Structure formats: C-alpha cells, structure tokens
Amino acid sequence: MKIAFIDFSNWDYKVESPYQIPLGGSQSAMCYLAEALAGLGHEVFLFNNTSAPGLSRGVQCFSFHLVSARLLQSLDALIVLNVAGEGIELRKRLGKQTRLVLWTQQVPTLEVMEGLQDRATQEAYDRIVFVSEWQRHLYLEHFGLEPSRTAVLRNAIAPAFAGLFADRDRILPEKSKPPVLAYTSTPFRGLDLLVDIFPKIRAAVPGTRLKVFSSKKVYQLDRDSDESFYGALYDKCRQTEGVEYIGSLPQPELARELRSVTALAYANTFKETSCIAVVEAMASGCLVVTSDLAALPETSAGFARLVSVADVHSFSDVRDWQFSQNQDWQAYGDRFVQATVQLLRECDRAEVSENFLRRMVDYINSSCTWPVRGREWQQWLSEICDRTFSDSQSEPSLAEQLTRRAEVDFRSNNIEGAIATLKQSLEVNPDFAPTYNSLANCYQARGDVEMALEHYARAIKLNPNFVPARVNLGSMYYRQWRLEEAISCYQKAIEVIGAATGAKLGTEVTPPESGAKTGVWSKAVAEDTRQTPPLRLRSGHAFARGGKEAPLNKGGLGGSSDWGIPFLSTGFDRTLQTVNLSGSQKYWLAAIYWNLSLVSDRQGSSERAIAYLQEALALQPQLAGAEDLLKLGNLWLEREDLDEAAFSFQQALQLQPNYVEAYVNLGIVWRRAGKYERAIASYRQAIALNPKLAMGYFSLGNVLYDLGRFAEAKESYQRAIDLKPGLIEAYFGLGNSLHQLDLEDEAIVAYLRAIELKPDCAEAYFYLVNPLANRGRLPEAIESSKQALRLKPDLARQCFPRDLWKDFHFASEAKTREHFTFVRCRPTPIGVSPASQAAGAATQTKPLRAIGRKSEMLRTTPGDRSSKNKTSNNQTICSSSRELAETESEIAYRQIYPPSKILLSSPFSLAKGPDRPVREVFSGFIAKSPAAFVAAIPEGRAWGDRAAALVVTRDNRLLADISNGGGKVAVVFSLKQLPPVYAIDGTVAFFSVQAGNYYYHWMLDVLPRLHLLRLSEIPTAAIDFFVFNDVAKSFQQETLNILGIPQEKIVSSQRLPHIQARRLVTTSIPTNIPKWSGEFMEGPPKWVCQFLRSEFLPLIQTKINTEKSGQLERIYINRQQASHRRVINETEAIALLEQFGFVSVSLESLSVLEQVELLANARFVVAPHGGGLTNLVFCQPGTKVIEIFSHRYVSSCYWLTSSHLDLEYYYLIGDEPDSSQSLPKNHLDAIFEDILVNLDDLKTLLDLAI
C-alpha cells in the first residue's frame, strides 16, 4: 500500500529524530509507526514541517507545503495527526480510492479537535483512530460520531525500550537500593504535586531519590521560553533534598536511565488518552504508581498501583497546571504518598516478585511494540482500503464477489438481503462451498436450525477440507447441547489442518499447571477469512464457591466483543513468533480451540477450558471481548490461580475500562491474595461506576473488616443492606462489625434480622451467641447455639483445636435422639493421690481411661435471670452457687470475701475536648467486685480450655457464676456430645479459667483461687489433683513451686479438657467475672493485690529501697516479643523516653521474682497495655504509671489496680494508623489491636507527670 502521514504542526523533525532528540509522544509514535509500515514493504511518506526532506529510516519525508497533487491522488491512505479541521480541504485533493484517516491522541475539548463539531468534517474522514477505549468513548459522547467509523489502535514503546531485559536477565538486581523514583512526563502533568509530596515519601522510606526527566524541550520549545513557564518548578526540583533534575533526554538515553529505576512516580493531574511514559516505564521493569484518571487504568493493563481521583474536581492543562496547593489535590497527594510508600516497602520486603516484573516486561515486549502495532495497522488499513494479503492474489470469481457482498449485508444485520444475494451466487455457481456456509450462517441467525444444518452439511460435502463450515457446524451442535458431535466437527477440522501441513494434531490438550502456558502450534490450510466467524455462544455458567464471595459473571465465554480491539494475551507463547502463519490460518485454528473451550466449560472441566482458551488467544488475541476475559478470570479464580485470574480481569478492564463486574471480581482476587488496599481500590471503582451496586458495598465491607476498620465496614454493610435488603450475608458482616465495636445490642438486632429473612440460617444463630453472652443473656445464647448446631453441627469446629475436634461426635441428622444424662455411678479412676492413700483408700494408680459411657450436656432454653433458669428439658442454669447450696445440702459453699466497692482515684490524661473525649471506662469512679467464695460439688464435672471454663453438677446444672468464656460457654453447654469424660476418684480443685495461659489471668485469676482455697480451711494435702489450663510456661511453674503445689498433683486442661471428680472443688473467678453475673468493673479486687504482695514481696524484701547499684527507677516495658498489641513506632517511642531517663526492658526474659523486684523498685512505669503491667501489684505507693492504649481498645483493669495501691495513674490513647503504618495483622479483635503512639502527646504527658 501507499501510505502517508501528515502533521500540520510547525515542528521540524524526520523519522530518525526521536532516536536523536527529545520529541513529543504523538510525533514520536507517528515516526515509529511509519518506520514499522515501511519495514512491512509498504511505500510510506511523512508530510510535515521538515527542513531536511529525503529518505529517513525507509520513509520519504516531505515538507507538507511541497507535496504534489499527483502524489496525494495516488495514495491508498492519508493519516492526519491530531488536527481535525483540515479534513474537508484534504478530501478535495485526494483520489477516490484514498482513505482519509484522522489519528488523534488529544482530548475532544482541545481547539484542534473543534472541527469535528461540523458533520461535514466528520464525513470527510473515512475513519477516526483513537489510542484508547476511554478516548473513543469520550469522542462518541462529545461529537456524536458514528461508532462504526471509529477504531482503537493503541500506542507502543520506543524501539530503544524493546528487549531492554533479555529473556534470561533478572530484573530485580538491576534496581537501585535505596529505591529511585522517576518522573518522565511533561512538567504540567503533575510534577509540581510530586515534588511537593516527595519529602513525605523520603521520610517514610529513607534514602529514596527522585529523578526528574522533564521539560518542554520535547515540544521543541526553546530553553528561555521553557524556563519562563516552568523555571520556578525546575528550581524547586533542584532545591528539594533527594531530587535530581535532569530534563528531557532522547529515548535511547532515557531507556538506559530507567533500567535502574525502581518505580515511575506519575502523580498526574492530567487526563491522559494513553500515556507512552507508563508503558515505557513498564518495559524498563519499573513499578508504576499513578492515578486511575482517564485512560491510565486501560494503558497500565493492571500492572500499576492506581490511586483514586474520585474526589478531585479540576485537572491540569498546558497553561493551568499548578494544583499542588488545591485541597482536592492535596487529598489525592496524601493517597499517592501512601500508595508509593506501601509499594516501596513491599519491594524492601521482597513482596514484589521477579515473576511479576518479568510478566510485565514480557507483556510489553510481546504486545506493545511498534512492529506489533505495524501489523495491526496493516491489517486494519487493508480492510478499509479493500486490500488483502492472502495466499492467493487471483481475481475473485463472480460467485465469490456475490458471497462477499452478502457478508457485508450479514454484518449489517440485513439477513434477508444477504440470503437473496447468496441465492444469486448459487445460480452463478451451485458448487461454491463458501456460499453454502454463508447461507447456513444466515439461516442460523434467523433461527432456522434445520436449514442451517443442511447448508453446513452441503458445504462440507462439496469441500470436505472447508474448515469454516466444520467449525460453524460444531457451533450449531454446541448450541443444541450435542457436545460429542460438536467435538467431532472440531476434531475433523483439526485433521484437515494437520493433513495440509503434515502435522499430527488432535483435540487433546494438557490442562495447565498453575500459571503454566500452553503451546500447540502448527501451520494451517489457507481458508477465506472473509467467511463469517464461528458463532460465539454464551455458556451461562456461574462460578460460586461456598463460603467465599462469588465472582460476578456477565454472559460467558463467547460473549460479543469488538473485533477491532486487539487483546493482549498473558498466554502468548514466543514460539508463535517464529511460525509463519497467515492471518486466516491463525484465525481458524484459534476458532477451533476457542469453541473447544466452550465445550469443555459446558462439560464442567474448567482446566481443559482454560487450556483451550489459552491456545486460542495466543493464536488470535482479538477473539476475546471483555466478557470473555471476565469468564476466563472466573475460571482461573475457580482454580485459585490468583495471578492468572487478576491478569484476566485486568485485561478485561483494558478492553472495557468501565466494566463493573471485572472490578468486583478483581477485588475478590486481591482480597484472597491479601492485597487489601488494591481490593479496596477495585471495589470503590466498581461503586463509582455503579453507586447502586449492593455487592460492591458488601465486598468492600469484607475487606475493611479484614483490616480491622470496623466502623467503615459497618457503614459499607449498611449501605449494601439499604440497596438490597435481602442480602443475608451483609447482615452477618454488619453484626460482626457491630460486635467488634462493642455495640452488642445493635449486633443482636442485625443477626435477628438475618434470621427473619432465613429462619433456617445456622450461621445467623451461631453469630448471635457471642453478643447475647456478652450482654449477660446466657440462656438465650445457649438456645441460639443449640439451634445453630442442630442445623449445622460442624459450626462448632471453629471453637476447638483441630487435634481435639476429632474426639467430638454428633448425632445423626436422620433421626431425633434423646440426650444422655449423668448417672450416679462410681467413675473409673485415673489415679489415686498420696492424700487418698493416707485416707485409707486401697486403690492403686491406673492409667488414664475414659469413663465407660460417654457423657453429654443437656440443651437449655431461654429463661429469666433468676438464680435458676429452666430449660426446655427441665434442666437448670444456676446463676448463684450460694442459692443452689442453700437448697442442695450435698453442695458445700463458703463465702471468703464479701462484695466490695472502691472509690477510684481520678486518672490523669491530656486536656479534654471534642477531639479527646473521655473513654467510657474512665467515666465511672466506683468499682464493684462480687463476693469471693469456694464451692464443693459431689461428682461435679468441668470443661476447661484456653477460651472457656465450665462447671456442671452431676445432674447437668451449669454453675454460671463460676463458668467463664463468653459465648463459648454457651457453645460447649449446647453441644450434643463432648469428648469422653475422664473420671478422677478423688478430690479435685478445678482452677482453669478463660485465657488462663496468659500472665495477667494466671496471676490475677488463677493463683488467687489457691488463696481462697486456703482460707476455706480445705488443706492442700486434702486435694488429690489441681487442674490448671496449662503449666508449660516458666512463670507458671515458678509460681506454683513458690506456692507449694506439688508437681505430681497437677493436671492440665490442655491434656484433659473434660473431667469428672468424686468431689470437685472450685472457687469464684476473682477478676474475669462472667457478664451474666452482673455489672462489675474489669480488674482485680483489692484482696487479690494484697494476696500477691504478701506472697511474693517478702521473697525480695531485702532488695527494696536499698542503694544497690543497677536498680532502675524509670522503666519502659516494651512489647518487642509480642505477637499482638505491638507498638508500631516503638523504636521512636523508646528514643523519646530515653531522653527522660527511661530504660526499655523485656519482662519475658526475667523470672517472676526478677519482675517483682524490678517493679517494686520502679518509681515511674510507662508501658503499652499488656500483661507486663500485671506487676503493678508489686509497686510502691506513689509510683507513677502511664498506660498506652490503641485507638480502638481501652481497659480499666490497671487503673483499678493503681487505685488499690495508691499509684499515680495516667493514660494515653494512641492514634489510628493508616495502611502504610500498620503491621501485618495477626488478629482482628480490638483487644489485640496494634498501637501507634502519638509522640507529641507522650512528651506532653511526660512533662505533666514529671
């Protein structure tokens, strides 16, 4: 073909110029495309303002003032760059055969595009080419263009960037450390904002540098003019620490520079229609951080970290570009800093993989180079110029001409006109197979199945090697669910191709391993590509996975697509580039694999469907539309191949940037991959496109919940419910969020609403248990748990360790079974203690054995809050052991300490105000503690684990006031069957409590129960066994040894969670009092503090208040070894405290007595909320304490301790960390939340206290 490009600008350049000097993106792209087309054998011209006409890299360059009329008349195509208004005049000077094309890279509002307001100017152009779908859509709306007269042909990278990293080159080692950022666009597109925010990035990631490759030199602006516009900005670059201003470079030099750059930081404020800077950075192995503005999501193809500009109101242009001080852009700038810092930290933690960079570079090199674009332009130009490049160059027959004409009618939906023309063709040549194939296509479109089948069969009979008819016949069979016949058609088509090429091909493919690429390549026979493509049928198969968000699916494989848009496939195999296949050969072989993927999907084989689809797309990328890629992504998601799924959804978004379902499904991928901020960005983009998308808000709520951002999650779930009141899962999310926010009454309402919508919803009943228990409504919690486990017994699995769960057994759902009750029998002994031998028992010690009949707890129903709550089976929950003992003489009860009250000293904190409200736990000044007592229960049973402790009488009455563990108490008590009970023929002291393995609860809940036992006048020698949660930790063994508990009498609940004793002795719970016992302040009663001081202080008394060197008076108890409630900026906090004379200590490395000594000598203690502050019980009166909390969780326990001991108590509430500051979360509950210390507030509080 004879092709010319024309640029009406006053720029002076030739095709070789972008290799030598900085040159604007549009002009550089035109030069590279002209060179590529010349390389394909076409005669190519460039008409511009060149001062040096002549041949330049295979292209004839002329000044547009000197182009002859004869040359213009002879052209096949003239392509106009970026100026619309010259179309009418140019059309007058062109030959009739010449196609006039407008190629624009501008937005429609620019003055050079205003000519398109005129309909005559629009019609002067045969086609208008855009560089992105976003740009095309904008023009269609702005000017009302005819869509069929438009096309999208994308930009590509400069040749200097192609193959910058060879296949075997590793990319990561080439990247600078500390990281280097780059800005490579023109200065008015966001450089001022980037320079303004860069110090924040550098502060968060020390050592980071920024290289600025920017000026207006690319627009051939002289230096003085450039400096007059942007000199102040360039000076700011030079003066900002860590920024190196370099200016614009020729493409080869820029490519060499970018090879070592870590990331392109493009904080753009400009509506890009494409953005060559981004794809060239990607080719250089640079990570990309930019906005989601305009065509950037499409251009970056899912590889960039996109920052939302949803709240931005104005955008820059060449004259109006100073936006860094605008409030909306400042908010965007903060988000950009956060995204950049997060990305750089991921690089530092090696979370950015070599595989990711290699995938990105390979994608660009295989899909975004000018040789690739040249072939695409050649194909497109040949179509609009009615020129073909087939294997046969002979003139078509009349029958073939009529068939082609009918094809045009068919594509225009003029089915009857097409049929009439095809019948004319048969009159000319009744044995022309393509005519019968096209007639079959028409009949199929009209719904005449039998006629379609007949004509496909006739085409095949006339020409058994006619592949299109076999493929289309297979599609017909597929549509009728005749899958084996469809496969047979495709098999025979492949055999035809194989016979023509001497290759042995089949329909078998190997399903890919995760992330693997397939490659079955062969030459195929040349068939007429002008035949109608095979039918693209929807499979309609959805992919929902139990317990997970189901990806949204719109249509299925084979959905309609724009055949003019090239798809850039992740599955492209480089070997294909070495096989000489014509367009028609690739097309029909791809069509066969495509249709086989549909069949495999319909047969339920996602692996085979993926394998065939990859083959098809590698051969013929443009087969896929956005909906097809959505389906492919869902197939990968079904296989849990998150990388491939993400890539497919991103490719769908490249083709259709406003594809809501693709954004939602991409969010699901990012959430499963733990990329929560990316998931949030995807969901918010989906919501921005469709504000009424209930699933978007629901999915967003899930990610926010995962991140512990419960208030935001609550709002998101509520919005989902407002939009879709029947979305039960949203009520679960809402209830869970409310529960985490301690809004238990509201959580209860949410779960009950879910039950109203679905009365048999086991999960709703199960979720309801915890808030009911936390509100003290234990009977209702038990009833709710019972209902949940009746509907779905395995729900209880999450409450128990895996190794213990195997011992649980559940009744068959097929029949109703009565629950066993305990029988009054002598239990099988597990061993006899020395105390029992002294009492005259002759039984010898025997191995642990399960009781012969497995015991079960009876189910309960809601009742009143009296001391005895009746259940539906006349079973009882006893809320008062004292009242039970009054009516049951065999149960012994003795009160040790009466109920008590204490007037708390006022805590010190920073000045109050609207931004520093007083937390509720510090608003009351009277603390109440219940009575402390000891109870002995004949043949009593007990359950103990890390999360709960239950005591039950032999006739199944739950002693609620000595059972704790919140909702788990209800779950355990409602189970149909527990693991076998182990019987102990003796007296057992049961001291397991919820969280008894933690230092705080061990010291303040477990050990004080030994004290109560002593005061009950039951001698330690009379106890055969003591049951504790666990005794594996050194502090447990040390304290039990000090308190005189023999090792041979200790039994661990971790080993034996379910026991029954001839006589079970237990006590009230001193500190962690169950909610259903009443409203008591969290923390130890005074007698607990006195007991611990009396037991441990005398052991170190000689070391207190001495002049012994090494005593520390100001200490900071760090949490460097903790797995939760960590201090995010602990290093900085310790540095500040050291200025005030504090020493950081790790209590985990000290024995209990060493901790007692340390705290007894301290005069000022600073610590985050945690178990280390338990040792405040050993401090001297007047000691100052600063307790630091997270922004979400505060507790009164150490304030109460301080009040008992006359300590001077201060507290500080931490800040809420953003995602760039947060540590990886191990827990979601507020009690485990990590702490971000506000250092200014800490300094103020220290100044106040000292």
Mean predicted lDDT score pLDDT of the chain: 82
Alpha carbon separation from 933 to 118, 1001, 1029, 1068, 1083 (Å, rounded): 94, 18, 20, 5, 17
Report the pLDDT value the prediction gives residue 388, as an integer from 0 to 100.
45
**CA 1126 to CA 1106: how far, in whole Å?**
34
Say which residue, 692 or 857, is predicted with more confidence.
692
Say which residue, 845 or 1051, is predicted with more confidence.
1051
| Confidence class for position 1224, pLDDT limits 50, 70, 90 | low
Report the pLDDT value the prediction gives residue 926, as an integer from 0 to 100.
84
The pTM assigned to this predicted structure is: 0.60
Report the pLDDT value the prediction gives residue 638, as an integer from 0 to 100.
85
**CA 319 to CA 308: how far, in whole Å?**
24
Report the pLDDT value the prediction gives residue 349, as an integer from 0 to 100.
62
Report the pLDDT value the prediction gives residue 858, as an integer from 0 to 100.
23
Tell me: pLDDT of 803 over 60.
no
Report the pLDDT value the prediction gives residue 321, as an integer from 0 to 100.
53
Q: What is the mean pLDDT of residues 163-191?
A: 91
Q: What is the mean pLDDT of residues 882-910?
A: 91
Which residues, in sequence order, are bridge partners of residue 54? Answer: 61
| Confidence class for position 960, pLDDT limits 50, 70, 90 | very high
Which among 1183, 729, 806, 812 has a CA at the least distance from the CA of 980? 806
pLDDT digits (tens, 9 = 90+) for 256-308: 999 999 999 999 888 899 999 999 999 999 999 999 999 999 999 888 999 98
Report the pLDDT value the prediction gives residue 1229, as an integer from 0 to 100.
72
CB 929 within 8 Å of CB 1040: no
Report the pLDDT value the prediction gives residue 1057, as an integer from 0 to 100.
94
Report the pLDDT value the prediction gives residue 536, as an integer from 0 to 100.
28
Report the pLDDT value the prediction gives residue 1226, as an integer from 0 to 100.
53
Alpha carbon separation from 1116 to 628, 989, 1135, 1147 (Å, rounded): 59, 38, 11, 10
Report the pLDDT value the prediction gives residue 906, as an integer from 0 to 100.
84
Report the pLDDT value the prediction gives residue 872, as an integer from 0 to 100.
41
CB 304 within 8 Å of CB 646: no
Return all residues near 661 (Cβ < 8 A) that are at least 6 apart.
551, 552, 553, 554, 630, 686
Compute φ and ψ for 910, nearest 5 degrees.
-75, 165
Report the pLDDT value the prediction gives residue 391, as an integer from 0 to 100.
37
Q: What is the mean pLDDT of residues 452-459?
A: 92
Give SS3 for 132: coil
Return all residues near 585 (Cβ < 8 A) that are at least 6 apart.
497, 523, 524, 525, 526, 527
Q: What is the mean pLDDT of residues 468-472?
A: 88
Question: Which range is least confidently modeled, 487-496, 802-811, 1077-1086?
Answer: 802-811
Q: What is the mean pLDDT of residues 389-393?
A: 39
Say which residue, 250 or 315, is predicted with more confidence.
250
Report the pLDDT value the prediction gives residue 821, as an integer from 0 to 100.
28
Tell me: pLDDT of 145 over 80.
yes
**CA 518 to CA 241: how far, in whole Å?**
49
Tell me: pLDDT of 480 over 50.
yes
Tell me: pLDDT of 404 over 60.
yes
- All structural domains of the chain, each given as residue ranges with its CATH number in brackets, are 2-152 (3.40.50.2000), 159-366 (3.40.50.2000), 625-691 (1.25.40.10), 696-801 (1.25.40.10), 931-1080 (no CATH), 1092-1249 (3.40.50)
pLDDT > 90: percent of the chain: 55
Structural tokens at position 885: 């003992």
Most confident of 703-717, 792-806, 812-826: 703-717
Say which residue, 804 or 798, is predicted with more confidence.
798
| Confidence class for position 1125, pLDDT limits 50, 70, 90 | confident
CB 988 within 8 Å of CB 1063: yes
3-state SS record for 742-753? CCHHHHHHHHHH
Report the pLDDT value the prediction gives residue 310, as an integer from 0 to 100.
81
Report the pLDDT value the prediction gives residue 11, as an integer from 0 to 100.
92
Report the pLDDT value the prediction gives residue 1109, as an integer from 0 to 100.
44
Compute φ and ψ for 539, nearest 5 degrees.
-90, -25
Report the pLDDT value the prediction gives residue 239, as an integer from 0 to 100.
96
Report the pLDDT value the prediction gives residue 396, as an integer from 0 to 100.
63
3-state SS record for 729-744? HHHHHHHHHHHHCCCH
Report the pLDDT value the prediction gives residue 842, as an integer from 0 to 100.
30
Report the pLDDT value the prediction gives residue 331, as an integer from 0 to 100.
86
Report the pLDDT value the prediction gives residue 707, as an integer from 0 to 100.
84
Report the pLDDT value the prediction gives residue 585, as an integer from 0 to 100.
59
pLDDT digits (tens, 9 = 90+) for 1082-1113: 889 999 999 999 999 999 876 655 544 457 89
Say which residue, 1101 or 972, is predicted with more confidence.
972
Tell me: pLDDT of 106 over 80.
yes
Report the pLDDT value the prediction gives residue 352, as an integer from 0 to 100.
59
Tell me: pLDDT of 51 over 50.
yes
Q: What is the mean pLDDT of residues 1221-1228?
A: 56
Compute φ and ψ for 676, nearest 5 degrees.
-70, -40
| Confidence class for position 609, pLDDT limits 50, 70, 90 | confident
Say which residue, 549 or 488, is predicted with more confidence.
488
**CA 897 to CA 1008: how far, in whole Å?**
12
| Confidence class for position 324, pLDDT limits 50, 70, 90 | low
CB 931 within 8 Å of CB 1068: yes
Structural tokens at position 1004: 């303040």
Report the pLDDT value the prediction gives residue 522, as an integer from 0 to 100.
23
Report the pLDDT value the prediction gives residue 1129, as an integer from 0 to 100.
92
pLDDT digits (tens, 9 = 90+) for 1229-1246: 777 888 999 999 999 999
| Confidence class for position 1068, pLDDT limits 50, 70, 90 | very high
pLDDT digits (tens, 9 = 90+) for 852-885: 222 322 222 233 334 455 444 444 799 999 999 9
pLDDT > 70: percent of the chain: 81
How many residues can be counted in the chain?
1250
pLDDT digits (tens, 9 = 90+) for 544-595: 222 346 555 443 323 222 222 222 222 223 233 333 444 565 677 777 888 8
Report the pLDDT value the prediction gives residue 662, as an integer from 0 to 100.
92
Tell me: pLDDT of 755 over 70.
yes
| Confidence class for position 398, pLDDT limits 50, 70, 90 | confident
The tokens 């719970």 sit on which residue? 1069
| Confidence class for position 322, pLDDT limits 50, 70, 90 | low
Report the pLDDT value the prediction gives residue 882, as an integer from 0 to 100.
95
For residue 380, which amino acid is it?
W
CB 1058 within 8 Å of CB 982: yes
pLDDT digits (tens, 9 = 90+) for 504-545: 444 444 444 433 332 222 222 222 323 333 322 222 222 222
pLDDT digits (tens, 9 = 90+) for 72-102: 999 999 999 999 999 999 999 999 999 999 9
CB 960 within 8 Å of CB 1077: yes
**CA 1149 to CA 6: how far, in whole Å?**
78
